[in-house]
Structure 1
Amino acid sequence: MNMLREMLMENPIIAAIRDNKELEKVFKSKASIVFVLYGDILTIPKICQRLKENKKTVFIHVDLIEGLRGDSAGIKYVKEYVKPDGIISTKTSNIKYGNALGMYTIQRIFVIDSLSLKTGIKNILDIKPNAVEVMPGVASKIISFLNKEVRTDIIAGGLIKNKKDVMDSLAAGAIAISTTEQELWEL
């Protein structure tokens, strides 16, 4: 079993943080894996460093970092200067660059119709991220279908508001869920 899969299975609730206020709250939470959904090229190294000092596993959503280009140099910068445990991106090129640098990669896909599902499956099979974050995470049928099609660890994210949403996503085959709902960080 790979290390990322073990981490996700042991810590299925992932804190997704959007600002410095949530950063301060995540330090006190039970969540040990954190998805950073904000920052810029000047602040992201310090955000990552603080999370690591507090024994958190850190994934940076590189598409959301201001001033960071989604190219090989940008991903190399993240690896060498930000030093997260891995990256998240909707862009297959970023996942490809991250894979080439030996980083953990999570491909985020938005499933809004059958075409986006088909495209998502093709991209996952071509690029081979370590895991896939399916949005919205409350789409249990899609999670179950995708789980059978791609044989890649699935993380459910988006619109997960309560314990039932968490349980439904996990029961459908997600290995973990990411959420901004701070009460769920304590599950």
Structure 2
Amino acid sequence: MVRTVGSRGPKTMEAIRAAGLRLIRQHGYEAITLRQLGQEVGIQPGSMYNYIQSKQELLFTLIRDHMVALSAEVATALEGAADPLDRLRRFIRFHVSYHIRRTDEVFIGGSELRSLEGENRTAILAMRRDYERLLVVILEDGMAAGQFKRTDPPVTAYAILAMLTGVCTWYNPAGRMGEEDLIRLHQDMILGGVLASGAQP
């Protein structure tokens, strides 16, 4: 029986999104089809077009929504923090916590960026630069205040982000280190690398 857009529409769209995340994570964007996605959700292939027009639209929507959530949540995490050292600690806490809770979104947002086309790719790259810029500004402010070592802020930011984002590929919640321990470990490592001589951690 074909489903139509109506009261069940939002629930069906959420099911499509969840299935899309799972299938793309397992098989890769190029390997999946809308027919396969429809079978996973339990709707006829033709009915998929009531919700998404193409596989590219689904991928863009998944990555865009991930970036929107990332940007909104980091803004909340940094709200009210003026001191660069406090902001850096908060940024590290947020980034680690977010990335171990949203592993599928993070994985797809990184590995399938290459599969985005034209304006879709341009839009996501702009959102990524905005997020990266938050960390660059924190580092620049810390250097200006004499709290952080004089380095190249963008390069330092990219190195920090690579370390922090990597947790989603290896962290095991059932392992011997809990989330708070993981956050403190990364805070200690990063602060140990960027703090200026004589600055108080």
Q: What is the TM-score with the length of structure 1 in the denominator?
A: 0.27
More helix, by proportion: 2
Q: What is the TM-score with the length of structure 2 in the denominator?
A: 0.26
For the pair shown, which has the larger CA radius of gyration, 1 or 2?
2
